[in-house]
Structures are given as C-alpha cells and as structure tokens.
C-alpha cells in the first residue's frame, strides 16, 4: 500500500468511528426525559394503585384517576367524602415503589 492509500484508509476508519460514537451518544437518555425503564416502573405502580383502589368497596375506581411520574403518584377525580380521599391516599402510599402521593381528589357536591 502506498502512503496516500494508508492515510486515506485511516481517515475513512476515523470518520466511521467518530460517526459511530456520535450515534451512541444520541441513544443515551437525557436527564430531563423519562427512560423506558422508568416509564415501565411508573406504569406498574399506576396499575397496582388502580387495582388497590378497585378492590376497595368504599371507593369508586371509575371516578378516580391515577397517574405516576418517577414514583410520584397523583390522584385526581371525585370522591364522596374526605374519608374516601384519605383512604385512596393511604392505599396509594402502600404500593411498593411509590415515592410520594399528591392527592388532588375533590369532594362531590
């Protein structure tokens, strides 16, 4: 091989190596975005909280919305009493993986 072909080959390899590295960096999760694993964990927590509320005979699960982001559960919707709101919060806190519960439940009038 001549010197110019060797130099061209090294540049070619270097270019594709740099391109490969840039594409790997693009695949990394950003700190401001939720990764797939976190999303799945939140979905599992949401499902478990909904199941706990559904199994509670005093609560109407169809009127309570549950959302989870990074382990923080948000309850919203309507309940018949303050006792029901407190019970829903208690059930949510009892689910493994829950970091905190934000209770935005409103009393029916």
pTM of the model: 0.65
79 and 49, same structural domain?
Answer: yes
**Mean predicted confidence (pLDDT) in 33-60:** 82
Contact call for residues 64 and 88 (beta carbons, < 8 A):
yes
76 and 103, same structural domain?
Answer: yes
**Mean predicted confidence (pLDDT) in 73-82:** 95
Q: Which H helix or E strand runs over 51?
A: helix 36-54
67 and 24, same structural domain?
Answer: no
Higher pLDDT, 106 or 14: 106
Domain hosting 64: range is: 36-107
- Concatenated DSSP letters for 83-99? HHHHHHHHHHHTSTT--
41 and 15, same structural domain?
Answer: no
Contacts of 94 (CB under 8 A, 6+ apart): 52
**Widest CA span of the chain, in angstroms?**
87
- Give the chain's length: 109
The confidence score (pLDDT) of residue 33 equals: 54
Positive or negative torsion for Cα 24, 25, 30, 33? negative
Q: What angle do CA 25, 26, 29 make, to 5 degrees?
A: 90
Per-chain mean pLDDT for the chain: 83
89 and 103, same structural domain?
Answer: yes
96 and 79, same structural domain?
Answer: yes
The band of 11, judged by pLDDT with boundaries at 50, 70 and 90, is: confident
Residue with tokens 């110019």: 4
The confidence score (pLDDT) of residue 71 equals: 93
The confidence score (pLDDT) of residue 2 equals: 58
Instruction: Tell me the sheet residues that pair with 67.
Output: 74
């Amino acid at each position: 091989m001549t010197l110019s072909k060797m130099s061209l080959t090294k540049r070619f390899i270097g270019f594709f190596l740099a391109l490969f590295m840039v594409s790997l960096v693009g695949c990394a999760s950003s700190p401001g975005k939720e990764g797939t694993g976190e999303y799945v964990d939140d979905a599992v927590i949401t499902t478990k909280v909904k199941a706990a509320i559904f199994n509670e005979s005093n609560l109407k699960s169809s009127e309570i919305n549950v959302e989870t982001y990074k382990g923080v559960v948000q309850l919203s919707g309507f309940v018949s009493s303050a006792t029901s709101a407190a019970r829903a919060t208690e059930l949510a806190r009892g689910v493994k993986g829950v970091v905190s519960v934000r209770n935005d439940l409103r009393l029916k009038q």
